């Protein structure tokens, strides 16, 4: 039974991973730095089939449904989802869209992670589902046009812990909005997509997150935050699923979900691994329901060691073995960090054992 289940999960996992169309990224091969970014811009622009603004709500039915937390088919809203407990409220697709709101929980609408005012509400940015997401209308309004950032003394906190207040990292002390840790990498990668897709226009747009260039795109203080969020919150199954759903909707992909290593190759070259040593581990399913850690290795080299650490970085368990794939029984419960070491490199993944 367990073998059958593992095989089934493997097939599902492979199916979910396998939706990058053959050849989609061919024109980016062998490139790095801003040349890589421009090649990606051409790929994701040429394949982008923009839809109307109202069509976003249709897209969200497949791209932003909670199949991961409550797993109840309601709208997955990054500004109200509580990964470790019941949400304060839920939205049903279409029927609960705004409308007027008087506070949190009234209705959901469309949140532009880069505010619409930055690009004058112009197409195709306005209806680009890769960075326009469903959120609670009231929290969307509280976020207003502020940059994202880190807040240590919030002036306001949403029901799921998203915060508003002065930025606490160096280089900027204006008001910012801080999402919860679970979605920081998701949002960072959506913004990396935005910077790439619109690199021809972005230098002319004004916002404290942006620096008026078409190469780096982001202000230094903000880029530092995005890189941290990207590294600390690696690509999740929900982002892979969302990328596939948005691809089915509008024809283009977020390259940084398919190839997270490209973020460092473009924006953080001193921390980058060479292009041919891509890191592709799939942990499935995650959260882990049955106390067995399944890792599928899409790399050529073998995993040599896995360190399981608690959130303070303390090592709980070390597994040393040369293997391609693993099905490891766990005697743990809660959230842990995995260090997966191979000959080529080390990657970091977060797991939740239920």
Of residues 60 and 198, the one with the C-beta less far from Ca ion: 60
96 binds Ca ion (CB under 5 A): no
Out of 55, 70, 104, 208, point to the residue binding Ca ion (CB under 5 A).
70
147 binds Ca ion (CB under 5 A): no
136 binds Ca ion (CB under 5 A): no
Name the segment binding Ca ion (CB under 5 A); options: 186-194, 217-225, 281-289, 330-338. 186-194
Out of 28, 38, 63, 87, point to the residue binding Ca ion (CB under 5 A).
87
Counting residues that bind Ca ion (by CB under 5 A) gives: 9
Quick one: three-class SS letters along 66-91? CCCCCCCCCECCCCCCCCCCCCCCCC
The DSSP call for residue 264 is: H
| CB of 341 vs Ca ion, minimal distance in Å | 22
3-state secondary structure of 224: helix
Out of 39, 40, 44, 69, point to the residue binding Ca ion (CB under 5 A).
69
104 binds Ca ion (CB under 5 A): no
Out of 13, 65, 236, 265, point to the residue binding Ca ion (CB under 5 A).
236
Rounded distance, CA 254 to CA 24, Å? 12
Quick one: three-class SS letters along 43-57? HHHHCCCCCCCCCHH
229 binds Ca ion (CB under 5 A): no
Residues in Cβ contact with 46 at an 8 Å cutoff, skipping those fewer than 6 apart:
none
For Ca ion, what does the binding mask look like between residues 294 and 333, x meaning CB under 5 A?
----------------------------------------
290 binds Ca ion (CB under 5 A): no
| CB of 74 vs Ca ion, minimal distance in Å | 6
Rounded distance, CA 198 to CA 207, Å? 14
Rounded distance, CA 309 to CA 252, Å? 37
Find the largest Cα–Cα distance for the chain.
59
Residues in Cβ contact with 248 at an 8 Å cutoff, skipping those fewer than 6 apart:
62
Q: Which spans of this chain sit near Ca ion (rule: CB under 5 A)?
A: 66, 69-70, 81, 87, 185-186, 233, 236
């Amino acid at each position: 039974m367990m073998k059958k289940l593992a095989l089934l999960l493997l097939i599902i996992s492979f199916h979910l991973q396998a939706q990058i169309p053959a050849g989609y990224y061919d024109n980016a091969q062998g490139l790095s730095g801003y040349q890589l970014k421009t090649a990606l811009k051409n790929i994701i622009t040429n394949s982008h089939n923009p839809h109307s603004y109202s069509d976003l709500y249709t897209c969200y039915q497949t791209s932003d449904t909670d199949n991961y937390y409550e797993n109840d088919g309601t709208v997955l809203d990054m500004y109200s989802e509580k990964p470790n407990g019941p949400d304060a409220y839920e939205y049903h697709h279409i029927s609960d869209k705004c409308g007027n709101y008087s506070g949190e929980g009234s209705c959901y609408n469309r949140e532009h992670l880069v505010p619409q005012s930055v690009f004058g509400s112009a197409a195709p940015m306005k209806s680009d589902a890769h960075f326009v997401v469903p959120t609670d209308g009231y929290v969307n309004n509280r976020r207003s046009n502020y940059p994202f950032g880190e807040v240590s003394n919030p002036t306001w906190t949403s029901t799921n812990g998203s915060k508003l207040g002065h930025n606490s990292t160096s280089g900027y002390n204006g008001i910012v909005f801080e999402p919860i840790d679970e979605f920081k990498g998701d949002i960072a990668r959506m913004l990396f997509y935005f910077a790439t897709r619109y690199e021809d226009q972005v230098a002319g747009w004004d916002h404290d997150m942006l620096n008026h260039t078409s190469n780096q795109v982001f202000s230094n203080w903000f880029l530092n935050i995005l890189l941290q969020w990207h590294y600390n919150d690696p690509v999740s199954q929900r982002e892979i699923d969302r990328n596939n759903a948005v691809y089915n909707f509008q024809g283009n992909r977020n390259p940084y979900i398919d190839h997270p290593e490209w973020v460092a190759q473009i924006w953080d070259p001193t921390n980058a691994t060479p292009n041919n040593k891509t890191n592709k581990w799939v942990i499935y399913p995650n959260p882990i329901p049955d106390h067995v850690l399944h890792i599928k290795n899409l790399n050529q080299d073998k995993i040599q060691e896995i360190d399981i650490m608690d959130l303070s970085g303390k090592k709980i368990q070390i597994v040393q073995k040369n293997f391609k794939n693993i099905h490891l029984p766990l005697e743990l419960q809660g959230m842990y960090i995995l260090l997966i070491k191979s000959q080529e490199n080390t990657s970091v993944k977060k797991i939740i054992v239920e």
